[in-house]
Amino acid sequence: MGIKISLLAVTALILIVFLGVQGAGLHLLFGVIVPYIAVVTFLAGLVFRVIKWGRAPVPFRIPTTCGQQKSLPWITASKLDNPSGTAGVVGRMALEVLLFRSLFRNTKAELRQGPKLAYHWEKWLWLAALAFHWSFLIIFFRHLRFFTEPVPFLVQAVEGFDGFLRVGLQALYVTDVALLAAVTYLFVRRVAVPQVRYISLPADYFPLLLILGVALSGVLMRYFIRVDITAVKELAMGLATFHPRVPEGIGVMFYIHVFLVSTLFAYFPFSKLVHMGGIFLSPTRNLANNSREHRHINPWNYPVKVHTYEEYEEEFRKKMLGAGLPVEKEVS
């Protein structure tokens, strides 16, 4: 059911653009107004989520640890898995953000004949996630050539390195192939593995299908359906400089691509995709585990009226003696 709902939603988005551009001629709406609304929604939603996370109280040190904590000098501590200082936290976060270290260490459990519980690594999931995120980042960076003039040298260098493969006279971007392969694998895995399919919701399928639509429409424009690149850059530069103008001759496939990207931007802050920013505010990752060196006191503690044992015994001493309970101070 989740797959059908998500597939229908993405199909409906494509049909809306096709009918709006081809039938009603709403080029300004889908080329200018919708992208601006999407970017504003993305920025406002992301700021809202970050402020909400930042205001959440973290009274105690709760880092997730997978190694020996720093203690006595002759006991080797795990500086990355159980960091005790800022340098260890930075290293741990860098490995997590850039290389998905926790996903690399992920294991899968299977009940085999015996019965016997066996564990093995899930390296294909880690590799697909790594290829997907890095390819998406590089493709996003490459697209800066449409919004800048002159194009920065770094953008040209990344584009040249990414397109070193040639099919005839056409440059084949490695990240295009890697992104399509990675998204396809993640989608097939979610559908084909019974355990993963059981816990999957429309909110899990929709982003994958939406990103797949973005990638396919981009690939179609790049290699199969030609668009006027000059007109596309003119439109992009107009958006970037807040002087938008919709040139003539841009095909409907471009508007489909832009609308799907705009939908992804607007949907991002309110979906699971927002983990991109959330990981930096996760106390299980960004805190040092130095509870043996320092005593951490909850800063939100407020004065509480307590009833000490001395006061308790003073109040009930006679009854405690009558019941045969030991007391620290006898009745005078």
Kindly state whether residues 246 and 321 are assigned to the same domain: no
Q: In whole angstroms, what is the distance from residue 34 CA to residue 17 CA?
A: 11
Q: pLDDT band for 314, please (50, 70, 90 cuts).
A: confident
Q: Residue 36: pLDDT above 90?
A: yes
Count of residues in the chain:
332
Kindly state whether residues 297 and 319 are assigned to the same domain: no
Instruction: Kindly give, in sequence order, each residue whose CB lies less than 8 Å from that of residue 216, ignoring residues fewer than 6 positions away.
Output: 180
Looking at this protein, which amino acid is placed at residue 329? K
- pLDDT (0 to 100) of residue 332: 63
Question: b vs e for 143-163, b when ≥16 Cβ sit within 10 Å of the residue's Cβ?
Answer: ebbbeeeeeeeebeebbeebb
Kindly state whether residues 178 and 33 are assigned to the same domain: yes
The beta-strand segments (E) located in the chain are 107-112, 116-121, 165-167, 170-172
Q: What is the mean pLDDT of residues 29-39?
A: 97
Q: Which residues pair with 120 in a beta bridge?
A: 108
CB distance 221 to 253 below 8 Å: yes
Kindly state whether residues 255 and 312 are assigned to the same domain: no
Express each pLDDT in 79-120 by its tens digit: 999 999 999 999 999 999 999 998 888 877 777 777 777 767
Q: pLDDT band for 253, please (50, 70, 90 cuts).
A: very high
- Supply 70's token pair: 């720093």
Kindly state whether residues 322 and 227 are assigned to the same domain: no
CB distance 205 to 3 below 8 Å: yes
Kindly state whether residues 271 and 234 are assigned to the same domain: yes
Q: In whole angstroms, what is the distance from residue 323 CA to residue 252 CA?
A: 89
Express each pLDDT in 112-170 by its tens digit: 777 777 767 778 999 999 999 999 999 999 999 999 999 999 999 999 999 988 877 78
Report the CATH number that the domain containing residue 196 is assigned in CATH.
1.20.950.20
Express each pLDDT in 3-28 by its tens digit: 999 999 999 999 999 999 998 999 99
Q: In whole angstroms, what is the distance from residue 61 CA to residue 284 CA?
A: 8
CB distance 155 to 146 below 8 Å: no
Kindly state whether residues 260 and 311 are assigned to the same domain: no
Q: Residue 177: pLDDT above 90?
A: yes
SS3 286: helix
| Residue that wins the pLDDT comparison between 330 and 263 | 263
DSSP codes joined into one string, 71-114: -STTSPP-TTTS--SHHHHHHHHHHHHHH-HHHHT-EEEEEETT
Looking at this protein, which amino acid is placed at residue 299? P
- Of the listed ranges 7-16, 65-74, 165-174, 259-268, the least confidently predicted one is 165-174
Kindly state whether residues 314 and 183 are assigned to the same domain: no
Dihedral of CA atoms 199, 205, 207, 212 in degrees, nearest 10, equals 140
Kindly state whether residues 279 and 330 are assigned to the same domain: no
- For residue 117, report the phi and psi dihedrals to the nearest 5 degrees: -90, 120
CA distances 281 to 64, 78, 177, Å, are: 14, 22, 32
Domain with 36 in it: 2-301
Q: How many separate domains does the chain show?
A: 2
Q: In whole angstroms, what is the distance from residue 278 CA to residue 35 CA?
A: 24
Average pLDDT, the chain: 91
CB distance 273 to 223 below 8 Å: no
Kindly state whether residues 311 and 263 are assigned to the same domain: no
Kindly state whether residues 238 and 132 are assigned to the same domain: yes
Kindly state whether residues 187 and 212 are assigned to the same domain: yes
